[in-house]
A and B are shown apart, each in its own frame.
Chain A
């Protein structure tokens, strides 16, 4: 074992996105000593990239008749369950819809500066799957406002920050999580942490696909660490494909075009000029009758949300993604293989005020002026509904001492997440994880770390270093992206998924022989070898679960099982845990929803 730096905390928070930082604030308020580690610099997590808004049923918006929209947690609950195709854990959704409101007010108290309504309240915009205007926002940089607010608050509350430290192993003692091993990206030297509780807030994973809105961080480290420590994962087949990623120019491929564009009136058209979302075959039974049925009605909705129904572009993301996929497949795509998204009819002034960074991004990078011409878009891998299985009340994972919150946790969003629900998720459950971890840590003492686990973790990490002649992590990563993109993305079927499974397992074997030339100091090629291990672990699990769920529901679209099977698959989640070193997929019945919550579906 190589000697290394060591730190002791009551609570170690892994990840400094919104979920991690909100957990820090809660744990500090409970009087704990808190350390936080993150792979990047502070404030650069995925949360900073979120654009559209944070969903909470404040009910601030006034309708054309002068009345406030009758939004409330009940409607948010119903919308979230419907959007998730009822695979969600009802209790998590109930807590979420309730608490999101206070978490947003609290942000304002901490210093967030939201856009305002003419009456002086927080302004809300419409988003897919939300019945009322519900996304509290700051132009199209809501994530920046959110992360900076909790970052400043957490800094003020006091924490130990370890930036650019990647954790590679959770350390256990008698099956309880008691610490972690990581390395400094800058020096390549190891560091260990002892803690009474560990909160994982490591975000999602999209980097195993070729088109993704995720940064280099989205490799699934956290979910892999938890799985290796024995925790259960849930709903891992449910990857969200955001309908509108940029498709042109190639350098911009996958980068997100916020749903806010459609919320502000953006129209989808195919190369024949058809506004294809009006085609009846794209309208799911569940939503029939709730959306505009003509272009006139959709246009009317822009100014009068009460009298007119919303445009079908605002159906949930899984629905719109599939429609775009089918249009392109049917030969109705644009030259670069996507469809057109046009918001120009709203006029230059409005667009620049409401969507300033979208305007800038297309103008500077794509040579497209979105105030006069359409954007070209195609679905991009965006978000992970599945993740670490947690207790709704405390965010505890199924391994003692471990807690998880934010995108890395599963259960809240079911088979599909509604836009804006992640930013409120990370606040609600980030706080609960901080509280849960503090309660667990109370009265406990720090445990001794097992030198054998540390030595093994170090050895695994150092194996590819300085080796020449082995395989390059970049090349393997490209192969992985290709197979996942081809076989495990939007449209899945058994044959393709089996190809992907074989390929992933082949890559796992080849990854044993990875080589990273160079030294230990800030060596991205070496870091990539470890990221690849996480991606391969997670990819195998995604494919196994996608193979297992033989139906189409939410983000899981099986071409060979195109129907939604409510009586069968609709009653259970898929849960994965490690058995004999291999992922084992088991079915787990959905908890039954109490009658008073069921009744909400009649009224809302």
Chain B
């Protein structure tokens, strides 16, 4: 394979088409290298995000032959026929070429209260065993590429960004919920504004996660169970009513507070 043909989506605000570019192949080349080649040699206006080129930052998310993935982690020799179509993530508002507006993810994230360790147990340094933290570390591997958000049908087909925080934020909440030191009760937020019930466990998110986080099995399902236990378990409900069961092993409920942080977007111009 000496050269490949890249079909790149070019256009703005969702309007555009595929343009073909011939790119010479070097050993170990990834799709991002091919995009950089086009920028440097053919068309400097081709818009694309990237930072680390090492699958660590989650900037270069796109759809490669229709499959959501990282441009810097997708080798061109995966496609021996040498035809590669590259387009933007389709769940988010399109900006230009391969760039989309992912600011919604940051706005939602700002609604999730950070860790609240129990002051009664003293401040850091904490005494924790590796086994205590491993579960949480899995969720903290997330590089915020938003590929899982891109593929989740609740957001992609049904566009329920108003009702469901999406798998990425489920990971974030799971990382807090399962942190041995956290004292907040996050079930109410999960049930209400985060909309954990909208997930119907298709596992598409898990399949695309470049960090191999078991989003559905390890984050969402256990949290769904916790929410169900507290909201819909009739026995627990009755016991709670008559005061046998106290629903407060943890302290304060989280969520529904206006976030303190504002994520600004540029005013949209006419041209």
Residues of A within 8 A of B (CB): 5, 40-45, 48-49, 58, 105-111, 113-116, 118, 120-122, 138-139, 141, 143-145, 148, 152-163, 165, 184, 186-189, 191, 215-217, 248-252, 255-256, 357, 360-361, 364-367, 472-475, 478, 516-526, 528
When C-beta atoms are compared, the residue in chain B nearest to A36 turns out to be: B261
Which residues of the other chain, A, contact B29 by a CB distance below 8 angstroms?
A: 249-251
B96 at the interface (CB under 8 A from A): yes
Q: Find chain A residues with CB under 8 A from B115 CB.
A: 110-111, 152
Q: Give every chain A residue within 8 A of B46 (Cβ-Cβ).
A: 524
Does B176 touch A at the CB level, under 8 Å? yes
Beyond A108-B125, A249-B28, whether A474 also contacts B39 by CB under 8 A is yes
User: Of all chain A residues, which has the CB nearest B139?
Assistant: A113
Q: Is B127 an interface residue (CB 8 A)?
A: yes
Which of B140-148, B198-206, B214-222, B243-251 has 4 or more CB atoms under 8 Å from chain A?
Answer: B140-148
17 contacts between A and B (CB under 8 A): A40-B49, A48-B57, A58-B125, A110-B115, A115-B133, A143-B56, A155-B110, A186-B95, A216-B51, A217-B51, A474-B41, A478-B40, A520-B271, A523-B45, A524-B44, A524-B48, A525-B39
Q: Which residues of B have CB within 8 Å of A49?
A: 51-52, 54, 56-57
Alpha-carbon gap, A478 to B55, bound state (A): 24
In B11-58, which residues have CB < 8 Å from any A CB? 12, 26-30, 33, 39-41, 43-58
Query: A159 — nearest CB in chain B belongs to which residue?
Result: B261
CB < 8 Å A-B pair total: 218
Find B75's partner among A113, A189, A365, A526 (CB 8 Å cutoff): A365
B56 lies within 8 A of A357 (CB): yes
Other A-B pairs, 6, CB within 8 Å; known A110-B115, A215-B50: A113-B175, A145-B140, A159-B260, A248-B27, A520-B269, A521-B12
Least CB distance, B269 to chain A, in whole angstroms = 5
Cβ of B224 under 8 Å from chain A: no
- By a CB distance below 8 angstroms, the chain A residues around B137 are 113, 138-139
Task: Name the residue on B nearest A158 (C-beta).
Answer: B260
Q: What residues of chain A lie closer than 8 Å to B142, measured between beta carbons?
A: 148
**Cβ contacts under 8 Å, A153 to chain B:** 114
A365 touches B143 (CB 8 A): no
A44 CB contacts on chain B under 8 angstroms: 51-52, 57-59
Interface residues of B in 122-170 (CB under 8 A from A): 123-130, 132-133, 136-137, 140-144
A258 to B115 CA separation, bound complex (whole angstroms): 30
Judge whether B266 and A251 touch: CB under 8 Å: no
Chain B residues contacting A41 (CB-CB under 8 Å) are 49, 59, 102, 106
Residues of chain B touching chain A, judged by Cβ–Cβ distance below 8 Å, are 12, 26-30, 33, 39-41, 43-59, 73, 75, 95-97, 99, 101-103, 106, 109-110, 113-115, 117, 123-130, 132-133, 136-137, 140-144, 175-176, 179, 259-269, 271
In whole angstroms, how far apart are the Cα atoms of A521 and B39 in the complex? 15
Q: How far is the CB of A349 from chain B (nearest CB, A)?
A: 15
Q: Which residue of B lies closest to A157 (CB)?
A: B260
Contact of B28 among A5, A45, A154, A252 (CB under 8 A): A252
Docked-complex contact B266 and A249, CB < 8 angstroms? no
User: Roughly how many angstroms separate A161 CA and B12 CA in the complex, as a whole number?
Assistant: 24
Q: Is the CB of B125 within 8 A of A522?
A: no
A364 to B97, CA, bound (A): 27
Which residues does chain A contribute within 8 Å of B44, judged by CB atoms? 472-474, 516-518, 523-526, 528
A262 to B165, CA, bound (A): 41
**Which residues does chain A contribute within 8 Å of B73, judged by CB atoms?**
364-365
Name the residue in A49, A365, A367, A525 with the highest tally of chain B Cβ atoms < 10 Å from its Cβ: A365
Contact A116/B39 with A251-B29, A366-B28 known, Cβ cut-off 8 Å: no
- CB neighbours (8 Å) of B56 from chain A are 48-49, 141, 143-144, 357
Alpha-carbon gap, A138 to B75, bound state (A): 28
Smallest CB separation, B98 vs chain A (Å): 10
Assess the B49–A521 pair: CB atoms within 8 A: no
Nearest neighbor of B267 in chain A, beta-carbon distance: A5
User: How far is the CB of A356 from the nearest CB of chain B, in Å?
Assistant: 9
Which 8 A-B residue pairs are closest in the complex by CB-CB distance?
Answer: A249-B28, A525-B44, A158-B260, A111-B115, A518-B45, A108-B124, A184-B266, A109-B124
Contacting pair B114 A156 (CB below 8 A): yes
For A525, what are the chain B residues with a Cβ–Cβ distance below 8 Å? 39, 43-45
In the assembled complex, the CB of B56 is this many whole angstroms from the nearest CB of chain A, namely: 5
A116 in contact with B51 given A41-B102, A110-B114, A156-B114 (CB within 8 Å)? no
Smallest CB-CB separation from B212: which chain A residue? A360
Please indicate the chain B residues that have their CB under 8 angstroms from the CB of A523 in the complex. 44-45, 47
Residues on the A chain within 8 Å of B47, using CB: 522-524
For A48, A361, A474, the residue with the greatest tally of chain B CB atoms inside 10 Å of its CB is: A48
A148 vs B140: C-alpha distance in the bound complex, in angstroms? 8
Bound together, the chains give a CA A483 to CA B90 distance in angstroms of: 42
Question: Using Cβ atoms and an 8 Å threshold, which residues of chain B touch A191?
Answer: 266
CB of B136 within 8 A of CB of A113, answer yes
Please state if A106 and B124 are interface contacts (CB–CB under 8 Å).
yes
Given A5-B267, A251-B33, A521-B271, verify A161-B262 contact (CB < 8 Å): yes
Q: How far is the CB of A282 from chain B (nearest CB, A)?
A: 29
| Contact partners of B50 in chain A: CB under 8 A | 215-216
Query: Given A111-B114, A115-B130, A365-B28, A48 and B264 touching (CB < 8 A)?
Result: no
Question: Are B263 and A161 in contact, CB atoms less than 8 angstroms apart?
Answer: yes
- Distance of A89 from chain B, by nearest CB (Å): 29
Give Cα distance in the complex from A106 to B130, angstroms. Answer: 19
B95:A522 contact, CB within 8 angstroms: yes
Task: Tell me the smallest distance from the CB of A592 to a CB of chain B, in Å.
Answer: 36
Q: How far is the CB of B31 from chain A (nearest CB, A)?
A: 10
Query: Is the Cβ of B129 less than 8 Å from the Cβ of A187?
Result: no
Which residues from chain A contact B30 at a C-beta distance below 8 Å? Answer: 251, 365
For A42, the closest partner residue in chain B by CB is: B106
Which residue of chain B is the closest to A101 with respect to CB atoms?
B125
Residues on A with C-beta less than 8 A from B141 are: 141, 144
Q: What is the distance, in angstroms, from B53's C-beta to the closest C-beta of chain A? A: 7
Q: Determine the chain B residues whose CB is within 8 A of the CB of A110 once the complex forms.
A: 114-115
**Contact between B179 and A111 (Cβ–Cβ < 8 Å)?**
yes
B179 → chain A closest CB, angstroms: 7
For residue A39, give the distance in angstroms from its CB to the closest CB of chain B: 9
